[in-house]
Amino acid sequence: MIYQNDAYGTGLFDAIKTTFEGTGGEVVADASFNVGDAQFDAQVATIKAQNPDAVAIVSFEQFKTIGPLLVNAGISADKFYLVDGNLSNTYGADFPVSLEGAKGTKPGPALEDDFVERLNTLWTGLGNPEIADQTYAAEAYDAVILVALASLAAGSTEGADIATKMQEVSGGSGDGEKCTSFADCAKIINDGGTADYDGYSGDITFDENGDPKGAAIGIFQYGADNTYSRIN
C-alpha cells in the first residue's frame, strides 16, 4: 500500500489494512508520503522490493506520478486498486502508461442517465466544460434536498432548527412516507405528514447522531482507453 500521510490517507490505510487482513490477506509492504511531496521513487522501491500481488494507492493527484513509476518498475496496472481520490476519467490517451485492468472504488450507486444529462446541461449552460467525473454529485444534490425538506418541516431557516429535522426527513425516525423528489416530499410535509426522502445517492437514513447508516459503493475498472466503467 502507498498512502498519503494525512487524515484522509491514514484513515483509509487503516480501514483497508484491517479489512484485508481480516479476510486472510497480507500487507507485505506499506509506504507513506506527505502532502506536497513530488518525488515518490523511495515509496515505489519499497513496494517493488516485495513483488506484491496487488497495490492499493491512496492518493489524489499524486497518482499521476505514482502510477507511471509503478508501471515502469514492473508492476502492471492490472494490480492497482484506487480510491475515490484518484479514480478519474481524465487520464485518457495522454497518460504515459496503460491503466487497463486497474480497479477502484468510489461512493454512490449507478447514476441514472437522466440525472447526469441534467447535471451537464445545467453546468455547460453556464459556460463550463462537461463534467467528466460525477463523484459525490448525487450525494451533494441529495444533501441540498434534505436541508430544504428539513427547513420546511421545521418551519424555519435557522440552522439549529433545520438540524432537528434532518433525521426525520431522511427516514431515520422510522415513521415517514417514502418519496424521491423535493416536490413529492414537500407535499407530504405540507399535508401534515412525515416525509422519508431517498434520492439519487440511494437509500438515505440518518441515525440519532446525524450519521448515515449505510452507503452504496461502486467498483470500477479501466479499459484500454484509460477510462473506467462501472463493473459492480
Q: Per DSSP, which regions of the chain are E strands?
A: 2-4, 31-33, 55-58, 80-82, 103-107, 177-179, 195-197, 217-222, 228-230
Please give the pLDDT value at position 110. 84
Q: What is the number of structural domains in the chain? A: 2
Do 147 and 92 have their domain in common? no
Please give the pLDDT value at position 37. 97
CB-CB contact of 106 with 84 (8 Å): yes
Do 133 and 222 have their domain in common? no
Do 102 and 56 have their domain in common? yes
Please give the pLDDT value at position 18. 97
CB-CB contact of 89 with 116 (8 Å): no
The residue segments making up the domain with residue 221 are 2-107+216-230
Cell of 63: 497518482
Do 55 and 145 have their domain in common? no
Do 167 and 118 have their domain in common? yes
Please give the pLDDT value at position 140. 93
pTM (two decimals): 0.78
Do 136 and 93 have their domain in common? no
Q: How many CA atoms lie within 13 A of 143 on its CB side?
A: 8
Q: What is the Cα–Cα distance from 56 to 1, expressed in whole angstroms?
A: 5
Do 207 and 225 have their domain in common? no
Three-state DSSP at 148 gives helix
Do 100 and 160 have their domain in common? no
Please give the pLDDT value at position 87. 95
Please list the pLDDT of the chain residue by residue as tens digits (232 residues): 999 999 999 999 999 999 999 999 999 999 999 999 999 999 999 999 999 999 999 999 999 999 999 999 999 999 999 999 999 999 998 999 999 999 999 888 888 778 989 999 999 999 999 987 788 889 999 999 999 999 999 999 999 999 999 999 999 998 899 999 999 999 999 999 999 999 988 889 999 998 988 888 899 999 999 999 999 9
Do 96 and 161 have their domain in common? no
Please give the pLDDT value at position 6. 97
Please give the pLDDT value at position 133. 79
Do 9 and 102 have their domain in common? yes
Please list, in sequence order, all residues whose beta carbon lies within 8 angstroms of the beta carbon of residue 230, skipping any fewer than 6 positions away.
Answer: 110, 218, 219, 220
Q: What is the CATH number of the domain that holds 46?
A: 3.40.50.2300
Do 222 and 164 have their domain in common? no
Classify strands 31-33 and 2-4 as parallel, antiparallel or unpaired: parallel
* Selection from 61, 74, 70, 57 nearest residue 13 by Cα: 57
Do 205 and 137 have their domain in common? yes
